[in-house]
Every structure is written in C-alpha cells, then in structure tokens.
C-alpha cells in the first residue's frame, strides 16, 4: 500500500523561503506529484519528480530522494497568494494516486 | 470542454435520499478518478476508471456508494440512502492514464446532507 506523511500546517513570511516536506512509503515507485489547492478550489498540478534531484520551475522547486522516500517542495520569494494547501501524491503502477493530507501554508505580511 | 466539468456544484439533500453526482472529463482522457474531501482534510480516494479495465473500487466506503462510467467518458457517482457523514466535497479528476500523468480536477460538488 501507499503511506504519505506531510506536516499539517506551516507559516512563513512574505518574501521568505519555505520548504514543505513529504515522506512516503510505497510498494512500487512511479514518481511523486505536488499539487496546490487554494481554499474552496480544486487542486492544480505543480510538479512531478521521478528521478532523484531538484527540479526547478520559477519560484517553485521540487526535490526527490528515492532511497530516503523523501521529497520536498521549496517556495521562494513567498507571496500572499501562495497561501494554500500543498498536497503530495504518489501513483501506483496502474496510475491510481494516493494523496497525503496536505500541508496548509499561511503566508503573513 | 476545456476542463473537467462537474455537476451540480452544490447539492443539499435530506438524510436517506439518493443523490447522483456527474463528472464530464477532458476529452481523450482515459483515466477518471473520484475523490472525497472533508473540510480541512486531504483527498480520500473513492474509485478509479482506466480505459476498458475493471474499475478500482477499493476506496468506496460502503455499498451505498457506486459509480459508473458510460462509453469511456461521463461518470456518475451515486450515493444511496445518504447519511450526514457523507457531507463533503466530491472531486472528479481525469488524466491521460498511466502513473506519470498529472491529474486535472473539476471544481467539485459540495454535498450537504441534512
């Protein structure tokens, strides 16, 4: 089965950098997704990692270590609009994604 | 359509009534998923359709829940004899299929059981 752990809540200051961690246990690894979900809205795709290392995409970067079962999402130059929940998800071989409970990030002025 | 479409956006029903929730996925997407999200919680997997394969129903919480997908496109999630604990946002997503394909979500149906 799949097991995913993320911190429940985080708070950071506008303009700062924040790292949101995700640890996972899975019977077969097929990559790891990060999604962003603003309050009252549907989740939207942020990143996908299948190889070890850091993937950078503008202010957002995602890191993966398969040997450690660990990923993080790095948000730089935080903006108020980055306040949202960040969901870590791992798919099975068949493509079914299991989601973590999400990390609610609050960005303060 | 351009995205995943769900209807209704809101549904209020009385305990014991049946409800049907509809999802229209992105054209060409072979995979369709239903998730449930209670307030402040993560996404709970319900059911997954992939092409012509038998659906993965392992997440359905009870036999009151069922879903079908007609013609490999539109899907309907049916909840019979609704209970108050069924109140949640029901999210549908679709993808091109395969483990490396990202999910596109609809805006969800907010179900309230009184």
Torsion angle defined by CA atoms of residues A43, A100, B31 and A37, in that order, rounded to the nearest 10 degrees: 0
* pLDDT of residue B28 exceeding 80: yes
Q: What is the pLDDT of residues B67-85, one digit of tens each?
A: 999 887 999 999 999 999 9
Q: Are A105 and A21 spatial neighbours (Cβ–Cβ below 8 Å)?
A: no
* Position A12 confidence tier, pLDDT thresholds 50, 70, 90: very high
Phi-psi group of B51: left, alpha or beta (phi > 0 → left; psi -120 to 50 → alpha; rest → beta): left
Token pair of A58 as six digits = 């503008």
Cβ of B42 and A42 within 8 Å? Answer: no
| Backbone phi and psi for residue A106, each to the nearest 5 degrees, phi listed first | -115, 125
Whether B1 shows a pLDDT value over 70: the answer reads no
**From B42, which residue of chain A is nearest by alpha-carbon distance?**
A101
Interface of A with B in 72-91 (CB under 8 A): 87, 89, 91
Q: What is the DSSP code (8-state) at residue B100?
A: T
Q: Which chain A residue's Cα is nearest to B88? A: A40
**Contact between chains at B42 and A91 (C-beta distance less than 8 A):** no
- Dmax (CA) for chain A in angstroms is 43
Closest B-chain CA to A7: B42
B33 vs A contacts (CB less than 8 Å): 96-97
Per-residue pLDDT of A86-107, as tens digits, reads: 999 999 877 788 999 999 999 9
pLDDT band for B97, please (50, 70, 90 cuts).
confident
């Amino acid at each position: 089965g799949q097991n995913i752990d993320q911190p429940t809540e985080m708070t950071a200051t506008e303009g700062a950098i924040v790292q949101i961690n995700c640890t996972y246990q899975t019977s077969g690894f097929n990559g790891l997704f990060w999604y962003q979900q603003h309050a009252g809205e549907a989740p939207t795709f942020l990143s996908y990692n299948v190889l070890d290392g850091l993937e950078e995409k503008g202010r957002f970067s995602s890191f993966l270590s398969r040997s450690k079962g660990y990923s993080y999402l790095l948000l730089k130059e935080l903006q108020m609009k980055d306040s949202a929940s960040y969901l870590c998800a791992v798919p099975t071989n068949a493509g079914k994604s299991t989601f973590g409970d999400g990390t609610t990030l609050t960005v303060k002025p | 359509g351009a995205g995943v479409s769900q209807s209704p956006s809101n549904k209020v029903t009385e305990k014991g009534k049946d409800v049907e929730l509809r999802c229209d996925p992105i054209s060409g997407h072979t995979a369709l998923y239903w998730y449930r999200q209670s307030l402040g919680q993560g996404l709970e997997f319900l059911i997954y359709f992939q092409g012509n394969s038998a659906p993965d129903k392992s997440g359905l919480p009870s036999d009151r829940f069922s879903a079908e997908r007609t013609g490999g496109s539109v899907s309907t999630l049916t909840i019979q004899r609704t209970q108050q604990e069924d109140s949640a946002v029901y999210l549908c997503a679709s993808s091109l299929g395969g483990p490396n394909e990202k999910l596109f979500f609809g805006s969800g149906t907010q179900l309230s059981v009184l």
